[in-house]
C-alpha cells in the first residue's frame, strides 16, 4: 500500500502515526511539508529504518521549493511526478495522512 504524508514531523505526528500502523509491504511518499522529514534532522529517525529498506520516497518538486534537495537523508528515494504516478500504479490509490 502507498501512504502519502504532507505534514512536517516538527508540526504534526502524522508521519509517526503512519509509521506505527502500516504493514511490511507498505511504502511512504513524503510530499508538500512532509518532505522536511526526508532531510537529515532530529526527526529523521522516524523513517530511518523504513528508508534503509528502500520504502521511503520524497517528491522532488517539494524538496526544491523549500531549498532542501541537497539535504536528503541516506536511502530516501527522490521521485518526480512521473515517479509518483509509478508508485500509484504499483501500490494502488494512496492513503493520505494529513
Partner 1 sequence: MSTKKFMYLNRKAPYGTVYALESLEVVLIAAAFEQDVSLAFIDDGVYQIVDGQKTDGIGMKNFSSTYRALGDYDINKLYVSKESLDERGLSEDDLMPLVYEDEDDDWAEKPSVFVVSNAELSKIMSDQDVCLSF
* Closest distance of CB 81 from partner 1, Å: 8
| Coil/strand/helix, residue 52 | helix
Q: Quote helix, strand, coil % in the chain, to nearest 5.
A: 45, 20, 35
Number of residues that bind partner 1 (CB under 8 A): 24
Q: Which residues are 29's β-sheet partners?
A: 4, 57
Q: What is the largest CA-CA distance in the chain?
A: 33
| Closer to partner 1 by Cβ: residue 40 or 96 | 40
Binding of residue 6 to partner 1 (CB under 8 A)? yes
**Site map 25..64 versus partner 1, x via CB under 8 A:** -------xx--x--xxxxxx---------------xxx-x
CA distance 88 to 75: 20
Binding site for partner 1 (CB under 8 A): 6-8, 10-11, 32-33, 36, 39-44, 60-62, 64-68, 71, 80
Amino acid at each position: 500500500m502507498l501512504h502519502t504524508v504532507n505534514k512536517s514531523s516538527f508540526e504534526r505526528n502524522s508521519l509517526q502515526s503512519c509509521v506505527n500502523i502500516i504493514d511490511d509491504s507498505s511504502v511512504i511518499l513524503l510530499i508538500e511539508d512532509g518532505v522536511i522529514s526526508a532531510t537529515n534532522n532530529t526527526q529523521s529517525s522516524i523513517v530511518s529504518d523504513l528508508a534503509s529498506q528502500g520504502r521511503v520516497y520524497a517528491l522532488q518538486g517539494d524538496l526544491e521549493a523549500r531549498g532542501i534537495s541537497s539535504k536528503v537523508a541516506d536511502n530516501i528515494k527522490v521521485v518526480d511526478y512521473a515517479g509518483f504516478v509509478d508508485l500509484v500504479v504499483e501500490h494502488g490509490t494512496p492513503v493520505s495522512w494529513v
